[in-house]
């Protein structure tokens, strides 16, 4: 014989009533069992790095199984309605998970980069697709496939005449003696640690210490740091590269150091100045852990 | 005289306590009864992102439901509204007939999402 404990609501009869809505408690039904484990956990998010971020805090519940839980989160400016995602360009996700021994409080999202001005990514991609590992010849047929040709092709990609660098004999002279029309359309930026790396689309110019006295030039890919950078260029290949590509347009595997770099030219109004947001917020998670096993 | 059954929390006097929070059980307060708590396994194809029917609840009313989800390749369980890329357990809900969940599998392979459903009484 099995025994039951049933407590009915007034005025119902616990001995005869079977309607669950008439019962305050019935041992036929499971209930959520509170544990004393409740509290709050704060996750501080501070990052200026671009891209995906994920900050976590955790507590130990030590139940040995995944428990039922409820959680909600306080975030300044938002009503605490459980856990949530803020669907905007930062896509903040505030979430809680459990395993057999711990509860995890997670704040993640994206730190977006903002491009100020006209984005040169499209023209750069077109240039790359047109000439990567190809011979580029657009200017001065008496000197085939020079670094100068790819840079001129880039200027043409940006809408300028092929003669915009006309009169410049050696690559290094782009920096030391630029034509007036070129200088009217491009900002000249001297190399410095603070200015580096050059941004995507910048025309980088090396001194006469390279290229057998002629210097060298190419189009920055935007990749790099204060020690080295990558360059889409023609007619050079640093050590470690593919000698079969030396005369062809390509991005050498080995980044260029800043040795012998005069500086670079940036198209006026171009959009390669990138700002990265500073992400700074505090999410306060409130939680309550129950004894019920999820069984997952 | 009205008689009650009450069990107080440790440290609280069951004969004098008055706050509902001081009781483990009190017959004057209803309890949230769990009608059923099945685990439903749902295979979600790569890129799957839709509302899946988990089961027909067979009840005469629309029940309150809660759920937790574990993806086969993950060691933890997550509550609704969230997930960790590339898997999301957006919500669990019900209507007069079924229990539903919106699941997202952003992986390139199909995965099994195991959802523990808590189907509650809804006091009338």
Three-state secondary structure call for residue B22? helix
Question: Is there a cis peptide before residue A11, judged by omega within 30 degrees of 0?
Answer: yes
Residues in B 14-73 with any Cβ partner in A closer than 8 A = 24-25, 27-35, 37, 39, 66, 68-70
pLDDT recorded at residue A269: 80
Q: What is the pTM of this model?
A: 0.61
Question: Is there a cis peptide before residue A197, judged by omega within 30 degrees of 0?
Answer: yes
pLDDT recorded at residue A80: 58
Q: Where are the alpha helices (DSSP H) in chain B?
A: none
pLDDT recorded at residue B49: 92
Q: Which residues of A touch B76 (CB under 8 A)?
A: 66, 97-99, 104
pLDDT recorded at residue A84: 65
pLDDT recorded at residue B100: 95
Mean pLDDT value of segment A266-281: 75
Partner-chain contact B77 A296, CB within 8 Å: yes
Q: What ipTM did this prediction achieve? A: 0.85
For A95, how many CA atoms within 13 A lie in the half-sphere containing its CB? 28
Burial of A22 (0-12, 13-18, 19+ CB in 10 A): middle
Partner-chain contact B76 A97, CB within 8 Å: yes
pLDDT bucket at A57, cuts 50 / 70 / 90: very high
pLDDT bucket at A278, cuts 50 / 70 / 90: confident
Give A55 or A271, the one with higher predicted confidence. Answer: A55
Partner-chain contact A29 B121, CB within 8 Å: yes
pLDDT bucket at A89, cuts 50 / 70 / 90: low
A26: nearest CA partner in chain B: B33
Report whether pLDDT(A21) > 80.
Answer: yes
Report whether pLDDT(A144) > 90.
Answer: no
* Pairwise CA distance, residues A7 & A13, whole Å: 9
Mean pLDDT value of segment A118-127: 87
pLDDT recorded at residue A274: 59
pLDDT recorded at residue B123: 62
* Pairwise CA distance, residues A278 & A7, whole Å: 57
Partner-chain contact B81 A66, CB within 8 Å: no
| Contact yes or no for A204/A164 (Cβ under 8 A) | no
* Pairwise CA distance, residues A188 & A139, whole Å: 22
> What are the φ and ψ backbone dihedral angles of A139, each rounded to 5 degrees?
-150, 135
pLDDT recorded at residue A38: 81
Q: Which residues of B touch A99 (CB under 8 A)?
A: 75-77
pLDDT bucket at A138, cuts 50 / 70 / 90: confident
pLDDT recorded at residue A86: 65
pLDDT in tens, chain B (124 residues): 678 899 988 899 999 999 888 888 898 888 889 999 999 999 999 999 999 999 999 998 899 999 999 999 999 999 887 777 789 898 899 999 999 999 999 888 999 999 999 999 876 5
Q: Is A226 left (phi over 0), alpha (psi -120 to 50) or beta?
A: alpha
For A128, how many CA atoms within 13 A lie in the half-sphere containing its CB? 14
Closest in B31, B76, B121 to A104, CB measured: B76
Mean pLDDT value of segment A37-43: 88
Average pLDDT for chain A: 86
pLDDT recorded at residue B119: 95
User: Is any Cβ of chain B less than 8 angstroms from the Cβ of A56?
Assistant: no
Closest in A23, A70, A83 to B82, CB measured: A83
Report whether pLDDT(A270) > 80.
Answer: no
pLDDT recorded at residue A55: 93
Partner-chain contact A29 B33, CB within 8 Å: yes
Three-state secondary structure call for residue B51? strand
The pLDDT tens digits of the residues spanning A193-247 come to: 888 899 889 999 999 998 889 999 999 998 888 899 999 999 887 666 677 777 7
């Amino acid at each position: 014989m099995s025994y039951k404990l049933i407590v009915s609501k007034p005025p119902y009869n616990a001995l005869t009533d079977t309607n669950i809505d008439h019962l305050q408690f019935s041992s036929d039904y499971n209930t959520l069992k509170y544990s004393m484990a409740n509290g709050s956990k704060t996750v501080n998010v501070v990052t200026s790095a671009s891209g995906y971020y994920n900050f976590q805090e955790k507590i130990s519940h030590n139940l040995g199984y995944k428990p039922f839980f409820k959680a909600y989160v306080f975030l300044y400016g938002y009503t605490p309605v459980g856990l949530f995602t803020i669907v905007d360009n930062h896509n903040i996700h505030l979430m809680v998970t459990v395993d057999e021994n711990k509860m995890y409080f997670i704040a993640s999202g994206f730190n977006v980069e903002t491009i100020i001005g006209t984005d040169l990514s499209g023209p750069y991609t077109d240039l790359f697709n047109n000439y990567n590992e190809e011979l580029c010849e657009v200017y001065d047929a008496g000197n085939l496939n020079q670094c100068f040709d790819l840079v001129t092709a880039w200027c043409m990609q940006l809408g300028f005449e092929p003669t915009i660098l006309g009169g410049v004999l050696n690559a290094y002279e782009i920096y030391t003696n630029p034509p007036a029309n070129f200088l009217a359309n491009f900002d000249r930026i001297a190399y410095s640690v603070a200015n580096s790396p050059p941004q995507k689309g910048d025309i980088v110019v090396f001194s006469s210490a390279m290229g057998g006295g002629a210097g060298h030039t190419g189009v920055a890919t935007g990749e790099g740091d204060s020690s080295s950078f990558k360059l889409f260029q023609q007619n050079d290949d640093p050590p470690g590269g593919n000698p079969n590509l030396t005369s062809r347009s390509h991005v050498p595997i080995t980044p260029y150091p800043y040795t012998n770099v005069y500086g670079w030219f940036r198209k006026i109004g171009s959009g390669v100045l990138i700002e990265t947001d500073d992400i700074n917020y505090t999410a306060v998670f409130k939680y309550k852990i129950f004894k019920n096993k999820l069984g997952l | 005289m009205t008689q009650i059954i009450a069990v107080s929390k440790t440290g609280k006097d069951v004969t004098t306590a008055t706050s509902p929070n001081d009781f483990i059980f009190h017959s004057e307060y209803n309890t949230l009864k769990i009608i059923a708590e099945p685990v439903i396994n749902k295979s979600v194809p790569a890129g799957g992102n839709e509302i899946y029917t988990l089961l027909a609840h067979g009840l005469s009313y629309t029940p309150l439901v809660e759920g937790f989800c574990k993806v086969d390749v993950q060691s933890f369980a997550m509550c609704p509204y969230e997930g960790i890329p590339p898997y999301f357990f957006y919500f669990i809900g019900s209507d007069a007939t079924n229990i539903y969940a919106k699941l997202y599998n952003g992986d390139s392979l199909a995965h099994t999402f195991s959802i523990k459903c808590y189907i509650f009484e809804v006091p009338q």
